[in-house]
Structure 1
Amino acid sequence: MSGPVEWLLPVHCAGCRAPGVRVCARCERALARPPELVMPTVALDIPVWSCGPYGGPHRRIILDMKERGRVDVIPHAAAVLRAALEYLAARGELPEPQELSLVPAPTTRKHARQRGGDHVAALCRHTRLHTAELLFRIPRARDSVGMSAAERRRSLSGSVRVARAVRPPYASVLVDDVLTTGSTLAASRAALAYAGVAVIGAITLAAA
């Protein structure tokens, strides 16, 4: 029997809206696909992997975390991310996860406040791996919806900053929720390189 809280705020699967569970077994299987190497529109000199296409459960779970305040699904997404990193380590493409520092992709402080926190940073922390929250974005960058790859890159140029000069103790991997053109990753990579932080790769939950 459901308790009073569940009755007032019914739980549903973030991936398919099935009732009574945060992420159902079917969506967990869809999320468990091995990460794949992807090629962003914006050239990067580091490998970029994605855990799946930006559709189906991947898309709905990301939107629930990002726009609907579903903090309860962040541990599920973090488990997907950690499993992907373990898979890449087993293939010899990355060091062991315990030897990595996860660097969340930047957001503006205003957007983080509006969304009740930085969901990408929370995702990284929930992996229980070392997380280095080094990056932030200054507000001058325009909303990227509808922009071309070149427009996104120009908008982000110079807007991604390193918040502190402390270097992570391990090899750094950039983490974001969705890969679109790669502009955010490229700007993040450039800002970290300027600050003397070496980045060996990037990974996203989904690729559009």
Structure 2
Amino acid sequence: MVDLHREFEGSRFFHEARIDRRSADALLGLAAGITADGHINQQEAEFLENWISANLVHLEDPVINLLYRRLSDMLSDGVLDADEAAELLGILRSFAGLSAARPRASDNAFVPSNALPLDHPVPELVWSGRLFLFTGVMAYGPRKDCEALVVERGGQIAPGVSKKIHYLVVGEIGNEQWLHSTYGTKIKKAVELRENGCSLAIVSEKHWQAALFG
């Protein structure tokens, strides 16, 4: 699916970005198909690892690479045990915007946010003097209302993603970006900063609300 030898680089029929997009869409289809029966076996996990390696690692997409590394770690000893299979099922469902209660895309009225970029384990949220940034659509309400709750507790709102922010809060309601592996520049940049050792945390709106309201 990639023009490795650049034989068609000058062709009007070849468009690398479109092919990359098609590959990312295909991964979502694979994730949905593999998880459809509620189980993942060794053969399916190995197939998915090999497919991502052949088709998507070149994109250097930080979230897809997180998925690939998790999968590779699970298979590093040659065995996908029951706990790893259950964890992988949850990861792939999240990646495809699905859940155990709604395992098919047609069951979902909106695309839930992908949990793969989130911090594990979830961090304790500290408010005073901490810089927060929001991305995506918040189930709580307008972003300005969410920001006001942070400011009321002594926190601050950052103008954008940087090494200075402490928390990126991902709205519970996703959008079509999540279905095409283009998570938005905020999440991509935050993942890259975190991978390079920055102390910022990426948390879900659900965790943020729990810290606010218990």
Q: TM-score over 0.5 for the alignment?
A: no
More RCO (CA 8 Å, sep 6+): 1
Structure having the higher helix fraction is 2
Q: What TM-score do the two structures reach when normalised by structure 1?
A: 0.30
Structure having the higher strand fraction is 1
Q: What TM-score do the two structures reach when normalised by structure 2?
A: 0.29
